A = this chain, B = another copy of it.
């Protein structure tokens, strides 16, 4: 069946070290490397979804704040943040707006993502 809509198969992340990033993100989201091509790694489907993270090796460095980022939640956000830091990530900023709190983190290559408390 051909739907008029497209299927979102993957979120591709440019990086210097696909192996290191699939290891990091695999620990955070519960995925693992599933397919490898030269310069590319595709992760397994994100649990409960049909979308994967994928990583492509690029020569250029990250410069500005990413224009796209991932929003994560967890029942114990401080526990997750501690795990992220233990895996080589960084805590960048905490925000609170109208009672809604979130923490901006970065993966080992500086890609920003946000952590909130799961509802």
Contacts and interface: CB of A to CB of B under 8 A. Distances in A.
Contact of A12 (B4, B70, B80): B70
A14 B65 CA distance: 10
Nearest to A31: B5
Copies held by the complex: 2
Interface residues of A, number: 46
Contacts of A118: 7
B62 A51 contact: no
Interface in A69-87: 69-76, 80, 83
Contact of A30 (B3, B46, B50, B114): B3
Interface of A: 2-14, 28-30, 46-51, 54, 60, 62-76, 80, 83, 111, 114-116, 118
